[in-house]
Amino acid sequence: MSDTQNIIQQTEKRSAHNYYPLPIVINSGNGAWVYDVEGKKYLDMLSAYSA
C-alpha cells in the first residue's frame, strides 16, 4: 500500500465525512504549488473550496 493510500485510509477511519475528498495527500507547499507525499506537484486551485 502506498503512503497516499495508507494516509487516506487512516483519515477516512478517524475523521468527519463532510466533503468528498480528493485522492491526494498534501505534504508541503510553496505559494500556489503543493506537493503530495510521493513528490508530485499540483497547482492549488481549491484554497477557498469550503469557505
Which alpha helices (H) appear in the chain, and where do they start and end? 3-14
Angle at CA 25, nearest 5°, toward 13 and 44? 135
Question: Are 27 and 35 within 8 A, CB to CB?
Answer: yes
pTM (2 decimals)?
0.65
Q: Where are the domains of the chain?
A: 3-43
1-51: per-residue pLDDT in tens? Answer: 788 999 989 988 998 877 777 889 999 999 999 999 999 999 988 767 666
Instruction: Quickly tell me which residue has 466533503 as its cell.
Output: 19
